[in-house]
């Protein structure tokens, strides 16, 4: 059902309960747009009253079509899982059928290589680019939040990995949400095909992060060097699933090879503010590391 051109843009957000999606909803809620959160588990307590929620079930294609009725723009983000490619492609197809004009897809900056989820993003991007719909692909580097997983290990002096002395330009996931907000508020054309590389302000090695944590915590924090096999074993013996362990060892590889070291001005250009820096993120999250 098409809507009169004078109505406010309707933005559907897939992944609205997730890390980036939640911050995006918070950033858009006071804008002159109608927001629709797509979720597998609707819960009225989760969002402000002005945000509509629609239940989606990836086993029922009709639920995706219903949820996207009347939407003009779609933010597409799904947590990493072996279903991600099928789920995101199903959402793209449903958006196309529903008359969505612009999809903003949350992707990832690394080369597809042979690692999940980078190869998955490459497949989804290919499908998106072959579809008759405007798109903007956001390719952020690894989120600073990835360090939260190291909190307990830092506290217990078992933090380490297979990143060696490679460097990575981590990004604050709130900057990803801010960039998505800016792009979703644009009046896009249905033939746009754009990709933006999003980074933080500078690259760090893991030993340099250990040094910064040492300064902030007032005690020595070490990054223990391990081989990829040793790191995989470390995760598995800590109860991490084989799937997640593989993804995390792959992330270490991107750091070891310094493949995400670049610094782009894209966050500043899109949002009007500089990217948040890691030292501030560490201060905000110091409690995670045993302070």
Contact residues toward ligand NAP (CB under 6 A) are 15, 17-21, 39-41, 77-81, 83, 87, 106, 108, 117, 140, 142-143, 146
Given a contact cutoff of 8 angstroms between Cβ atoms, the answer to whether 142 and 277 are in contact is no
The nearest distance, CB 23 to ligand NAP, in angstroms, is 8
Which residues contact residue 229 at a Cβ distance below 8 angstroms, ignoring those fewer than 6 apart?
Answer: none
Nearer to ligand NAP, 34 or 172 (CB): 172
Which tokens go with 32? 């002159």
Nearer to ligand NAP, 146 or 217 (CB): 146
The nearest distance, CB 160 to ligand NAP, in angstroms, is 19
Nearer to ligand NAP, 75 or 159 (CB): 75
Strand partners, 54: 38
Given a contact cutoff of 8 angstroms between Cβ atoms, the answer to whether 122 and 94 are in contact is no
Q: How far apart are the first and last CA of the chain?
A: 55
Nearer to ligand NAP, 59 or 187 (CB): 59
Nearer to ligand NAP, 110 or 133 (CB): 110
- Residue indicated by tokens 């590391």: 289
- Strand spans (E) along 114-253: 134-140, 160-161, 167-168, 193-198, 204-205, 224-225
The nearest distance, CB 3 to ligand NAP, in angstroms, is 25
Distance, in Å, from the CA atom of 250 to the CA atom of 104, rounded to the nearest integer, reads 25
The nearest distance, CB 26 to ligand NAP, in angstroms, is 13
The nearest distance, CB 194 to ligand NAP, in angstroms, is 17
The nearest distance, CB 137 to ligand NAP, in angstroms, is 11
Nearer to ligand NAP, 106 or 133 (CB): 106
Give the single-character DSSP code of 60: -
Distance, in Å, from the CA atom of 174 to the CA atom of 208, rounded to the nearest integer, reads 23
Give the residue at shortest CB distance from ligand NAP: 18
């Amino acid at each position: 059902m098409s809507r009169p051109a004078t109505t406010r843009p309707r933005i559907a957000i897939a992944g609205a309960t997730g890390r980036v999606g939640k911050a995006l909803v918070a950033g858009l809620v006071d804008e002159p747009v109608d927001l629709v959160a797509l979720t597998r588990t609707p819960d009225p307590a989760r969002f402000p009253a002005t945000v509509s929620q629609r239940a989606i079930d990836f086993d029922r294609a009709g639920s995706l079509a219903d949820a996207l009725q009347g939407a003009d723009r779609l933010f597409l983000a799904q947590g990493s899982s072996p279903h991600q490619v099928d789920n995101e492609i199903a959402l793209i197809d449903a958006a196309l059928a529903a008359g969505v004009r612009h999809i903003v897809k949350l992707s990832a900056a690394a080369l597809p290589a042979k690692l999940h989820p980078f190869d998955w993003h490459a497949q989804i991007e290919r499908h998106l680019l072959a579809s008759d719909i405007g798109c903007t692909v956001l390719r952020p580097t690894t989120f600073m939040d990835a360090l939260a997983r190291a909190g307990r290990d830092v506290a217990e002096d078992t933090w380490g990995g297979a990143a060696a002395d490679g460097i990575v330009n981590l990004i604050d996931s709130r900057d990803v949400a801010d960039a998505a907000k800016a792009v979703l508020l644009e009046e896009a054309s249905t033939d746009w095909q754009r990709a933006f590389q999003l980074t933080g302000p500078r690259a760090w090695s893991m030993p340099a992060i250990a040094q910064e944590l040492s300064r902030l915590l007032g005690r020595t924090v070490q990054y223990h060097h391990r081989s990829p096999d040793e790191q995989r074993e470390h995760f598995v013996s800590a109860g991490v699933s084989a799937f997640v362990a593989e993804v995390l060892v792959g992330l270490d590889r991107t750091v070891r090879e310094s493949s995400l070291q670049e610094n782009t001005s894209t966050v500043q250009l899109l949002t009007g503010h500089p990217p948040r820096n890691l030292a501030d993120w560490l201060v905000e999250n110091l409690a995670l590391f045993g302070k």
